[in-house]
Amino acid sequence: MALFCLIINAFEMKDLFKKIKAWYQASNRHIHAKLGTLIFFGMLLSGLFMKVSICPMLVISSVTTFLVMAAVEIAQKRDGGKFDWSDILAGTIPALAFDVAVLTYYLICIIL
């Protein structure tokens, strides 16, 4: 029974990944994600080179990424385009995923 549930869940996950991929490819969101990742890691590495602790730099880099993505959308709306929260989300998701991964790693290291 458990194996059957795993197989069913694998097919559901495959469909979920297809939906996420289709969402990213709509309306150039994959470009927003790439640029958001570039901004995030640029900020993170510049802070780490200045010997700032990683936890504050994760927050600063994520907030900066969000603000830059929002500024791009505001400029796009000003020029007659459409303001789209999904583009901001697409640019910010990679940064937030990295934040969660690093903070989870730190919590595991503290507990063990």
Cβ-Cβ contacts under 8 Å for 62 (sequence gap 6 or more): 40, 92, 95, 96, 99
The whole-model pTM stands at 0.79
pLDDT 10s digits, 10-58: 667 778 778 878 877 777 888 889 999 999 999 999 999 999 998 899 9
Model pLDDT, residue 79 = 92
pLDDT single digits (tens) 83-94: 889 989 999 999
104, part of any domain: yes
Segment holding 86, helix H or strand E: helix 85-111
**Domain for residue 107, yes or no?**
yes
For tokens 């790439």, what's the residue? 34
- Tell whether 15 is covered by a domain: no
Question: Is the residue at 11 inside a domain?
Answer: no
Q: How many CA atoms lie within 13 A of 49 on its CB side?
A: 6
> Using CA of residue 34, residue 45, residue 66, residue 74, what is the dihedral sign?
negative
The whole domain housing 89 covers: 28-111
pLDDT at 57: 94
Domain assignment of residue 71, yes or no: yes
Kindly report the average pLDDT of the chain as a whole number. Answer: 86
Number of domains in the chain: 1
Which amino acid makes up residue 18?
K
pLDDT at 74 over 90: yes
- Give the closest residue to 23 by CA, choosing from 86, 95, 92, 91: 86
Helix crossing, 85-111 with 54-78: angle to 10°? 170
